Amino acid sequence: MGIIHWPTFNLVLSVVGAGFLLTIQSLYYIKVFFDEFHLPPGYLKIVQVLFLVWNAINDPIMGYMQDLGCCGMTWIMDRRKVIKYAGPVFAASFLLFWFPWSTTIGWVTALQMLVALFIYDTLLTLVLSAYCGLCVEMSKSHSDRVRVIVYGEIFTIIAGFMIYPLETMPHSNEHFWMFQSICVAVAVVSAGLMVFSATKLKKSLNTLPEIHQLEKLETEPDPKKEIEKQGWKHAFQVSWQVIKEPRFICLVGAQFFKILRFMANENFLITYTDALLVSGGFYIKESSAAGLFLILARSCGSLLFLLLWFPTNRFGTQSIIQALNIASLINIGIMLYSGMDNLLHIAIFIIIENAISRCGWQGFYIVVAGEVVDTDMKQNNRKSPFSTIIFTLKALFNKPADQLAPVLILTFFLENGGFPTLTKPCTTFGDNLLVENALNSTISSTSTSLTTEIVPTIENCSSYKYWMFLALTIFPAICAVGESVFVGVDQYLRRNVKGKTHHLGDD
């Protein structure tokens, strides 16, 4: 077979294209809408709450459509065709975030964000649910699934290097066109990668007897008969069978807290570093050090996962998750003891925190969800795995965490410190520069904005820094404890199931 497992390589190549889009969108869309499009913060909460509902609903809809077919669209049941044809449309939807409809009318900017999120996430769900289904169906053992995740993490590191040119170029308004140009180029490259991957994947699958049987199963059945046998009523019955399982509940609960933590770090990584490190003079904005620091923060999680590849195979994903959470709580405790004036320790903390929160944040739970798919297929005597239904049903409960994370961070932490009105005034450091910046600032408000710019003072900026520090440390601690509780209960349930199995075998 050689060093590279080519079917896995071709499969994971599709997620490189998606990874480019996800990296830029998750890191910059809130920042761009605040700094460039002047979105009032009150509108962000409204958009996120509305989007939360659709984000949860569209996942099971896409899952049912891919596993059961819909409205005669039989092509949607072919996961490779979904990646090949829906992938470029997904890449195009990414551009909706970066070209403003208005920079003066708050509700128009909010509408743009809402429309962009709706379209982008729907296509994201369609493409990535097909990818997740292929991950499970192409991998028949735990080690095979871990290999898929490892390949994915390697490509995630590659995708993370997109941050460097974006962070080192000028960030002033007159240079925003450079950012837009890079986004267009990334969308084109991403679309090409997804098309190429899906094309090569089909050829690779035909060379594997085990997977060729699966391909035959997916492409040859009569769709009308399948839909008659397994309609929407049956889909709801399947959903209820899965939802009421205690281990599925633990899976959803654990990953919910993991996603909360990941999205908080993802959406506010640049905000945290600007407020705590740039403002203190640890490094200069738009410098090579800034770009490298952010790449390191986003890549260490993937590197850590690669180091944990063999321990994961040996001890299991749940044991590794628990060990990471213990390490995280120790890291948070040390940071709280050191305080927010220790810039070097803050920089180290951000690297470690992002490494732990990103390490296998999807990969570990894809492996666990794969076990749920296998169990569901065996217990219910299904002819084919309903992997996409189970993945998207899990997403029904987990996806709200994507929108809740920024809302919770804003509501309980950042707005108490004056975010986003003090973001720009507090980026300078040193008392003299701060006072000079304050004298040059003006209080401004318009009828089209819900935001009033605050004249910065040393007291205001100290409060801003304090609440940033609390968001950086306290929120991850809450999420780590929540995740550990659910994983611990699942470990207990797993041991009980094994014990009962052995007992029955002895009898």
19 falls in which pLDDT band (50, 70, 90)? confident
pLDDT (0 to 100) of residue 455 = 55
Of 59-68, 427-436, 455-464, minimum mean pLDDT range: 427-436
Nearest to 388 by CA among 230, 200, 194, 208: 230
* pLDDT of 217 above 50: no
Per-residue tokens: 96: 């909706």
435 band by pLDDT with thresholds 50, 70 and 90: very low
Residue 428 has pLDDT above 70, yes or no: no
Whether the pLDDT of residue 1 is over 60: the answer is: no
Q: In this predicted structure, what is the pLDDT of residue 448?
A: 40
Mind listing the pLDDT tens digit for each residue in 273-326? Answer: 988 998 888 888 778 888 889 888 888 888 888 888 788 878 888 899 999 999
At residue 353, the pLDDT reads: 96
Residue 188 has pLDDT above 70, yes or no: yes
- pLDDT > 70? residue 500: no
- The residue among 1 and 443 whose pLDDT is bigger is 1
CA distance 196 to 208: 19
> What does the pLDDT look like over 245-257, one tens digit per residue?
888 888 899 999 9
Q: Domain ranges for the chain, please list them.
A: 6-220+240-506
Strand stretches in 363-465, DSSP E: none
Residue 202: per-residue pLDDT: 63
What angle do the packed helices 363-379 and 106-138 form, to 10 degrees?
A: 60
**pLDDT value at 185 more than 90:** yes
- For residue 431, pLDDT beyond 60: no
Please check whether residue 141 is in contact with residue 367, taking contact to mean a CB–CB distance below 8 angstroms: no
Give percent of the chain with pLDDT exceeding 90: 25
pLDDT at 126 over 60: yes
pTM (two decimals)? 0.71
- Which of the four pLDDT bands, split at 50, 70 and 90, describes residue 81? confident
Distance separating alpha carbons of residues 62 and 76, to the nearest angstrom: 9
- Does the pLDDT value for residue 259 go beyond 90? yes
Q: What average pLDDT does this structure show over 103-118?
A: 92
**Which region among 306-320, 343-357, 489-503 has the lowest average model confidence (pLDDT)?**
489-503
Backbone angles phi, psi at 55, to 5 degrees: -60, -35
Residues found in the chain: 507
Strands (E), 158-268: none
162: tokens are 């997109």
pLDDT tier for residue 150 given thresholds of 50, 70 and 90:
confident
* Token pair in block for residue 253: 């609960």
Asked which of 82-86, 100-104, 150-154, 187-191 is least confident by mean pLDDT, the reply is 150-154
User: How far apart are the C-alpha atoms of 37 and 44, rounded to whole Å?
Assistant: 12
Whole-number average pLDDT of the chain: 78
489 pLDDT exceeds 60?
yes
Percent of the chain with pLDDT over 70: 75
pLDDT at 343 over 80: yes
The pLDDT score that the predictor gives to residue 325 is: 96
Instruction: Name 211's Cβ contacts closer than 8 Å, sequence gap at least 6.
Output: 7, 137, 138, 205
Q: Which amino acid is at 64?
A: Y
Residue 253 neighbours by CB under 8 Å, 6+ apart: 482, 485, 486
**What's the N-to-C CA distance of the chain in angstroms?**
44
What class has domain 6-220+240-506?
Answer: mainly alpha
23-27, 70-74, 378-382: least confidently modelled range: 70-74
Lowest mean pLDDT among 65-74, 124-133, 205-214, 255-264: 205-214
Q: pLDDT value at position 232?
A: 60
Residue-wise pLDDT tens digits, 376-420: 777 667 676 666 667 777 877 887 888 889 889 988 998 888 887
d(CA 155, CA 18): 10
The pLDDT value recorded for residue 302 is: 82
Evaluate if residue 63 carries a pLDDT over 60: yes
Structure tokens at 223: 């769709």
Q: What is the pLDDT of residues 200-214, one digit of tens each?
A: 876 545 443 333 333
How far is residue 412's CA from residue 468's CA, in Å, rounded to a whole number? Answer: 11
| pLDDT band at residue 136 using 50, 70 and 90 as cut-offs | low
State how far Cα 140 lies from the chain centre. Answer: 25
pLDDT value, residue 68: 61
Ramachandran angles phi, psi of 148, nearest 5°:
-60, -45
